[in-house]
Amino acid sequence: MQNRERFVGSYLELFTSSMFFFIALAFLLAWLTFFSPYELFEDDERLSLMNYVLITLFALGPVMGILAGIGFDTFPLVYNIPSFEKTTMRHFLQLNGLGQVFIHIGIYSGKWSLFIELSGIGIILMSLALLTLTASAIEIVKQKNSAGEVGIFSYAPGLVLVFCALFICGAWFMREVTGMIEFGIAFIVAVFCNMMITTTLLSHFNRRLGWNATNPATLPIRFLILITLGIGYVIVSFLRVREVVSEDLIDIWFAVLLLNVFFMLNPLKILRFSTGTFAKPHSTFILIGYLLLPLLAVVSIAPIWTGHEGLANIQPTHWLLITYPCFFIISGFAIYLHEDHLHYSPSTRVTHWHLVILFLGSGALMTWTLFDGSILLEENYAPVLAWVATQSLASILLAVLFIKHTIFPVDNWHRMPMFYDRLIENND
């Protein structure tokens, strides 16, 4: 037990870093919208490259930082893996943070050539940060017989991280090849993000809450379906840029991908245990992120009837998935985990409805902005201003919540979080 507890708590640095970079990203997006010197809306190629860099920055920056914090905190407890140590964690944090800084400097520089050079360095550093987790990922694979309620999703995401690093770097270095940028974006969104969302959902509802929302025996085939759909979407995205397939196919495929993640768990059981007479304590953030998936699937196919009037080479649903369902689910898990460390009773935990309302309102405004081409192209900035203001306020309040709870907790922090001691006893 002492060996397992040795590295618990290292998540605090990663969570705090992620929140600072999350705020920085919100301001960066606002600056790009109103003060960008790159004329992105007049140059589709530049817009595609910037879109790739920003999605990589968000997914491998704040989102991956929180995921890494969760992993470093829980995996030593669940699997007794010594390679998840503070040295590895700090190597990851340093490389990841430095990569984000390079990209931020490159964008703020206002010079396109310098932006390309610094962004390349930043992407390489963030990919190297993922590769520092390789040894730990291999150790998790060796513990696959102890996967329990999460099944194959307990160790498969670690291998995905390695491939993700290679694909992201490869797509950037081959960006001159038509379709490679979209190939890299599709891999991040369809494979990386959906894998992490599914794993986090299973970890919360199956392992943490014990709701048995998915039968562990069915997870191998579900994993195979998820990977097949994800890789298929990557290939189709590449072909779409080359005008081999239609835009409608992209929209439908992405909707199917989202619905597959949604039905990976039993939605009726989750709704039954989270609302009404049989309601049990759970993370409202995670629940809302989960329920956003079918809504986002509808948003994905809407352009088939409304028309593709957004920005060229940008799929609005990519940003919506990362920014809202993905971030809701992962940050919700992080908050719930930290409250486990504080030993808060699950039935007395605060939902923070003001954050939920602000983020949902921001999501609606972002949807409007990205799907209505006239807003950005014709400089009708009223919806954008509302989105920037709402998103910035929500980001700052969420970051303050994280920092307040992690750096300045008013209650005693416990090295062993609630539930996990019982999980260890059961496994032993």
pLDDT value at position 409? Answer: 65
In the predicted structure, residue 145 carries a pLDDT above the cut 80: no
pLDDT value at position 116? Answer: 95
Share of the chain above pLDDT 90, in %: 33
Query: Which of the given ranges, 127-136, 263-272, 310-319, has the highest pLDDT on average?
Result: 263-272
Q: What is the pTM of this model?
A: 0.90
Q: What structural domains and CATH numbers belong to the chain?
A: 2-427 (1.20.210)
Closest CA to 419 of 305, 334, 318, 343: 343
pLDDT value at position 310? Answer: 59
Interval 307-336 mean pLDDT: 82
Lowest mean pLDDT among 163-167, 345-349, 380-384: 380-384
Interval 251-273 mean pLDDT: 93
pLDDT band at 422 (very low <50, low <70, confident <90, very high): low
pLDDT band at 254 (very low <50, low <70, confident <90, very high): very high
pLDDT value at position 118? Answer: 96
Q: pLDDT tens, 186-209? A: 999 999 999 999 999 999 998 888
pLDDT value at position 377? Answer: 61
DSSP string, 12-72: HHHHHHHHHHHHHHHHHHHHHHHH-SS-GGG-HHHHHHHHHHHHHHHIIIIIHHHHHHHHH
Residue linked to tokens 């014990």: 210
Interval 353-377 mean pLDDT: 77
